[in-house]
Amino acid sequence: MNYIGVDYHKKYSYIVVKNEDGYIGGRGMVNNTREEVQRFLKPYRPGMAVVEATRNWGLIYDWLEELLDDVALAHPLKVKALPSL
């Protein structure tokens, strides 16, 4: 199982993929098109993704849901608080 974090922006997303052992198997900046996101993530199936619930999150959520086993939304204020822990 792979665990995928997606930092979604207007034109691109930053994606990081970790496996069950915590090894980072992939990371990169991807243009926000269905094809680019799915091409980047295809080798990392099965997988679960987390996306910050920001403006227009529904679009990338749908793309991820088509490809991965599970997609979750993270609360924006709680995500911003994580680095301070």
Q: How many Cα atoms occupy the beta-carbon half-sphere of 52 within 13 Å?
A: 16
Q: Where are the alpha helices (DSSP H) in the chain?
A: 34-41, 57-67, 76-81
CATH 3.40.1440.10 for domain 2-84: no
Q: d(Cα 64, Cα 41) in Å, to the nearest integer?
A: 9
Task: Write out pLDDT tens, residues 72-82.
Answer: 998 877 766 55
Residue 13 forms beta bridges with which residues?
8, 30
CA-nearest of 26, 35, 64 to 48 is 64
Strands of the sheet containing 24-31, edge to edge, are 24-31, 12-19, 2-8, 47-52, 70-74
The model carries a pTM of 0.86
Domain coordinates in residue numbering, the chain: 2-84
Q: What is the pLDDT of residue 41?
A: 95
pLDDT in tens, 4-60: 999 998 899 999 999 999 899 999 999 999 999 999 999 999 999 999 888 888 899
